[in-house]
Structure 1
Amino acid sequence: MSRRGNTVRAGVLALVALLAASCGSPGKPVDPAPVSNAAWPQPAHVGGPDATAGGGADTSCDPLASLPPNGTIGSDSTMAKIKERGKLIAGVDQTTYLFGFRNPTSGNLEGFDIDMVNAIARALFGTSEGHVQFRAIPSSQREDVLMAHQVDVVVRTYSITCDRRKKVQFSSVYYVAGQRILVAKESKAEKLSDLTGKRVCAAKKSTSLAKIATDPAKVVPISVDNWSDCLVMLQQGQVAAVSTDDTILAGMAAQDPTLKVVGEQFTQENYGIGIPKDNEDMVRYVNAVLDEIRGTGVWQDSYRKWVEPSLGSASPPSPQYR
């Protein structure tokens, strides 16, 4: 046989051997990588307790007594400067359903707090259309933007406290809420003491965080930038509950039918409109606007639209003045 023939024969034999091997036992399989449940990612800036958050422990003042109303706009007043600018700049929330949230269909900001901003703009300009510049801010920045004069007002479920009054001005009370608890529907918890040793979420620098951080129930406080972060953490099982004002919790429960608001109110939260410390004329003007909307039904109409279906009927709180 020629050399070329030997080469061909050797190749054929190698191919036959390869085919025979492929028809045989596959051998011992390789173990796959172990499979485990991946942890849910946490929101940005998750922190721990802050017993000084919100300044709720300071009782050195009468926090609810505001400056008497005055609806006059003087030539050199804060309001005249806002009118000259053409826009009211308002620090608001865009993540709290029912009070300050962005409508996913229209892209507009809506809610009870947004209605309060629009009422101030209408008083200044005759209409709010085109005359409001909304600035979405987290709870932790409410004092910061006011002290830096980056906004004219903050209308963002903002509880009035003596500690906060040292830094900013407040209008009269325009809404009264109370702190409660949001849990999964299968949860047996009804009060804060039922959550001892468990993680409970609240927003940074909020009076709600201060309450759960200092309560004898000894829960584990978890702080986040926005209330929507608390909602996500509860949905993912990273916390056992969210605790804050029932107004905010009602919005969360309305968004997710697997959750429920439980227990009685264990604080009273008086919402005011935040105003820079040196703009006392603006405080008086805003109080005049609030007096008007309490008396004309504007407050009631907004409440019926946004809040009453979740929390029942209510009337506007009576103002207190110095």
Structure 2
Amino acid sequence: MDSVTTILRQAVAIAIVACAALTPVRGNCADVDVARILAPTGHLRAGLYPGTPTSILPDGTDNPRGVGYTIGKEMARQLHVDYEPVVFAKNAEVLEAVKSGAVDVAFTNASPARAKEMDFGPVYLEIELGYLVPEGSLLSDVGDVDASGRKIGVTTGSTSDATLGHELKNATRVRAPTLKDAVAMLKGREIDAFATNKATLFEIAEQVPGSRVLAGRWGEERHAIAIPKGRGAGLDFLRSFTAEIRASGLVSAAAERAGLKGIVTPGK
């Protein structure tokens, strides 16, 4: 029995030494495992796309504005791993990167369709969905949009693309590959309105002189942290982390710094 006891004690000692040798995250081995699950490369690769305050607004500095960018940076800090923002041209590319595991996290609308392809933490931000119309438009409310002959722009693969495909009965969707293309379409009057969340609409309105966001809303986006399927063991961390960044005011501060408008339920 003494030899068995000795072997067991040695095994426990080895386990303790192994744990101590790892970089601590919140102070114990279980949390180190969470870092390995959520950031298996040792870097938290965050999928982002430019042109919207919900993701990232590059400004040539080391600390760009954007709610997604800010949340990712704090998440990497708490996991004690390097932060690696990966910027794509459009959100559809970010979503594909999450699905394939090319990125570790993204910050996007947690729609039921997307939840089949990736896992989400709790919602940290709700934003109104609306329309942006060019200068001189006679439209005044979201209820005026769905009429025969009208062309409504959406970003390819977006929530607006999927939802309005079912909801618009008379107007026609026109897909824009990126937000930059949407701006060009509005300026060229190729579309009568562009649909997405109001945070993005107010941002691109600054690039289209005379444009305005219509009164009312046709829905809401519920933004949450997305991770690839197969990493569900990290969801408990996402739940506590999301609650913390809301309670601490990090979400609301990031939204204010980014100039984000159209919030339904601000982060607290």
TM-score normalised by structure 1 residue count: 0.66
Instruction: Please show how residues 182-193 of structure 1 align to structure 2 within 5 Å.
Output: 182-189=132-139, 190-191=141-142, 193=144
Structure 2, unpaired ranges of 5+: 1-25
Q: Which amino acid aligns with 2:122?
A: S
Pick aligned residue for 1:132 from 60, 83, 87: 83
Report if the CA contact (8 A) 2:65-2:254 is conserved.
no
Corresponding residue for 1:46? Answer: none
Corresponding residue for 1:175? Answer: 125
Q: Larger Cα Rg: Structure 1 or Structure 2? A: 1
SS state at 2:230 partner: coil
Report if the CA contact (8 A) 2:125-2:266 is conserved.
no
Corresponding residue for 1:102? Answer: 58
The offset of 1:168, in angstroms, is 0.8
The offset of 1:166, in angstroms, is 1.6
SS state at 2:267 partner: coil
Deviation readout 1:120-143 (Å, 9 max, x if unpaired): 1121128xxxx2212123222344
Say whether 1:236 aligns with 2:192: no
Corresponding residue for 1:115? Answer: 70
Report if the CA contact (8 A) 2:121-2:238 is conserved.
yes
Corresponding residue for 1:146? Answer: 98
Question: Over aligned residues, Cα RMSD in angstroms?
Answer: 2.6
What is the distance in 2 between the residues matched to 1:241 and 1:73? Answer: 52
Equivalenced residues, count: 239
Q: Which amino acid aligns with 2:145?
A: D
Query: Does the C-alpha gap of structure 1 residues 109 and 229 become closer, same or farther in structure 2, counting only changes over 3 Å?
Result: farther
What is the distance in 2 between the residues matched to 1:203 and 1:110? Answer: 22
Report if the CA contact (8 A) 2:53-2:259 is conserved.
no
Q: Which amino acid aligns with 1:159?
A: N
Say whether 1:316 aligns with 2:267: yes
Query: Does the C-alpha gap of structure 1 residues 76 and 312 become closer, same or farther in structure 2, counting only changes over 3 Å?
Result: closer
Q: Which amino acid aligns with 2:128?
A: G
Corresponding residue for 2:171? Answer: 219
What is the distance in 2 between the residues matched to 1:117 and 1:136? Answer: 12
The offset of 1:316, in angstroms, is 1.8
Deviation readout 1:252-307 (Å, 9 max, x if unpaired): 12344421101211112111111011111222212222111111222222122223
What is the distance in 1 between the residues matched to 2:142 and 2:103? Answer: 37
Give the structure with the higher percent strand: 2
Corresponding residue for 2:235? Answer: 283
What is the distance in 1 between the residues matched to 2:216 and 2:166? Answer: 18
What is the distance in 2 between the residues matched to 1:258 and 1:217? Answer: 28
What is the distance in 2 between the residues matched to 1:212 and 1:75? Answer: 42
Corresponding residue for 1:320? Answer: none
SS state at 1:247 partner: helix
SS state at 2:153 partner: strand
What is the distance in 1 between the residues matched to 2:40 and 2:103? Answer: 15
After superposing the two structures, state which structure 1 stretch, 249-258 or 171-180, moved more. 249-258
